[in-house]
Amino acid sequence: MKLYPEARQALLEAQAILVPAFGAEHTGNIRIIQSMIEIFTAEGNVAQAEEWRKRLSEKQ
């Protein structure tokens, strides 16, 4: 059983705490973005994965 919706929610909640505290370029935020890409890719949601890839390219 895949828990992708729950994982996405947890990542977004973590990001909401991490980014204001440490900034968008923090390693933890980069990992969150990478995880979101992996989840959307695993779900076959190419458009969402690409949206998160754009966010990642802005941080690197």
For the cut 90, the answer to whether the pLDDT of residue 2 exceeds it is no
State the sign of the Cα–Cα–Cα–Cα dihedral 33, 35, 36, 41: positive
Residues 33-46 pLDDT 10s: 999 999 999 999 99
- The span from the CA of 30 to the CA of 43, in Å, is 20
- Looking at residue 1, its pLDDT comes to 65
pTM of the predicted protein model: 0.92
